[in-house]
Structure 1
Amino acid sequence: MAEKTIMLACNAGMSTSLLVNKMQKAAEAEGIDAKIFATASNAIDKELESEHPDVLMLGPQVRYMFDDLQKRLDIPVEVINMQDYGLMNGANVLKAALKLTEPAE
């Protein structure tokens, strides 16, 4: 089992799937054991139930879901930085996701 499970969500799960590949490459390069996957926004609840991710990262196009998800979930939820998303900067998005899973000091 992976040390960290990171779920990305966007409208259809397509654009975040590209980002997942870049994040997985960045994780492998850093020696980080992470399960990273993408889903469509309408499947978030189902995936939360089956995969139990440590963090949920939302694509900028579904940022409107942030407040509701943050209120009802017991895991960190964040909107992916628009520039990192646009540039498909998997390393930066991975860093942001992992930072959210660190215990508060």
Structure 2
Amino acid sequence: MKILLMCAAGMSTSLLVNKMKKYANENGYNDVIIEAQPIEDLEKYVDDYDVFLLGPQVKYKEKWAKQIIEAKGKKYTTIPIQVYGLVDGKKTLELALQLLK
């Protein structure tokens, strides 16, 4: 599974990506690829990922992102601000996994 976190510039989200990767490795999710990119680059990456997680700081772009992602038959959600603020890699990864069930 390939997960892409979308944010404003990719900086703060990279901390969350690292925590997600650590949790994934510690819990046997060896086939998970997790990366972060600015939401402005969504159209470049939409074909390459299975699940998209939007950071709370780009919620204002959700309608635009939803059209692009769902047109490709893929799933997305916005990361809750509490989860994002705590840099909770476990909850964020679980959020992504739930989208594919």
- Whether TM exceeds 0.5 here: the answer is yes
**TM-score for the superposition, normalised by structure 2:** 0.90
The runs of 5 or more residues in structure 2 that have no matched partner are none
The runs of at least 4 consecutive aligned structure 1 residues that moved more than 6 Å come to none
Q: Which amino acid aligns with 2:10?
A: G
Q: CA deviation at 1:30?
A: 1.1
Supply the RMSD in Å over aligned alpha carbons: 1.0
Within a 5 Å distance, the mapping from 1:83-94 to structure 2 comes to 83-94=82-93
Give the fraction of aligned pairs with identical amino acids, expressed as a percent.
Answer: 41
Figure out how many residues of one structure are paired with residues of the other and give that number. 97
Aligned equivalents of 1:41 and 1:10: distance in 2? 5
Aligned to 2:46: 48
Structure 2 equivalent of residue 80 of structure 1 = 79
**Residue 61 (structure 1) aligned to one of 52, 57, 63:** 57
Please say which of residues 64-73 and 20-29 is displaced more in the overlay: 64-73
Structure 1 residues not aligned, in runs of 5+: none
Structure 2 counterpart SS, 1:56: strand
How many Å separate the matches in 1 of 2:92 and 2:66? 18
